[in-house]
Amino acid sequence: MQFFTHDGFELGYIDEGAGDPVLLIHGFASNHFVNWVSPGWVKTLRDAGYRVVAIDNRGHGRSAKSHDPADYTSAAMAADAAALLDHLGLPRAHVMGYSMGARIAAFLALGHGDRVASLVFGGLGMGMVEGVGAWDTIAEALLAEDPGTVADARARAFRSFADQTKSDRRALAACIETSRELIAPDAMARIAGPALVVVGTADDIAGDPQRLAALMPDARAVAVPGRDHMLTVGDKAFKAAVLDFLEEHPL
């Protein structure tokens, strides 16, 4: 990995391939490797002729950690992504985010719209606007001394995921407090560039992709059959849809 500094955080990233740049922003409790390298995204995009840049969000992976919730707003993490483009001398890039990363990508488009050539929102549909349910139990699960005491199934799954990725659980608990800011429908309507919303049909977290796409002037939705929130990430239908979308919208 390579590193740069923004807003007091040392942030890790990878930069591979050549061609139109695609900036990848991972989801909550994940990192660039789990979200993008392991499921084959980096190879798929690189082999298709794209330059692939993937960041470890603050509090995640090999990037610096904070235990202060104020450091984890979506706007702050979107500013990190914009700073990475600055660091690499990239005036514009395609941007793809998954789950929390999709929300960060939306904030990037709203706050730094001239940097975003196109958007892919993976694993987050109308939940971007209406919320994705009560997640306080996840913060509690992340901070629990004994994971065996976690009763809620979703919270238990995220705790297990955080343990598997050897994450800083206090940093993640801080992150989940402030990274779920909702985006109003009229703000989504200001995202004027081409956008693709991809959600699995068995995803019980993301919300309706069609309704989110309908809020934006140049967006469409794709449903990935039979895939839940975790399994949609590496699905071949997701990859095919994104490759077609990027081909339609070259820089």
Residue linked to tokens 């895939």: 227
Question: Tens of pLDDT along 17-35?
Answer: 999 999 999 999 999 999 9
Flag whether 156 is in a domain. Answer: no
pLDDT at 251 over 90: yes
Most confident of 87-96, 152-161, 162-171: 87-96
Give the burial class of 154: count Cβ atoms within 10 A of its Cβ; 0-12 exposed, 13-18 middle, 19 or more buried.
Answer: middle
Are 83 and 4 in contact by the 8 Å Cβ rule? The answer is yes
Flag whether 36 is in a domain. Answer: yes
Flag whether 192 is in a domain. Answer: yes
DSSP 56: -
Query: Above pLDDT 70, what percent of the chain?
Result: 100
Flag whether 150 is in a domain. Answer: no
What is the domain count for the chain? Answer: 1
Find residue 118's DSSP bridge partners. 94
CATH code at position 196:
3.40.50.1820
Question: Tens of pLDDT along 165-215?
Answer: 889 999 999 999 999 999 999 999 999 999 999 999 999 999 999 999 999
Euclidean distance between the first and final Cα of the chain, in Å? Answer: 26
Flag whether 69 is in a domain. Answer: yes
Flag whether 230 is in a domain. Answer: yes
Residue linked to tokens 């990508």: 105
CA distance 130 to 181: 10
Flag whether 164 is in a domain. Answer: no
Flag whether 175 is in a domain. Answer: no
Domain of residue 193, residue span: 2-132+184-248
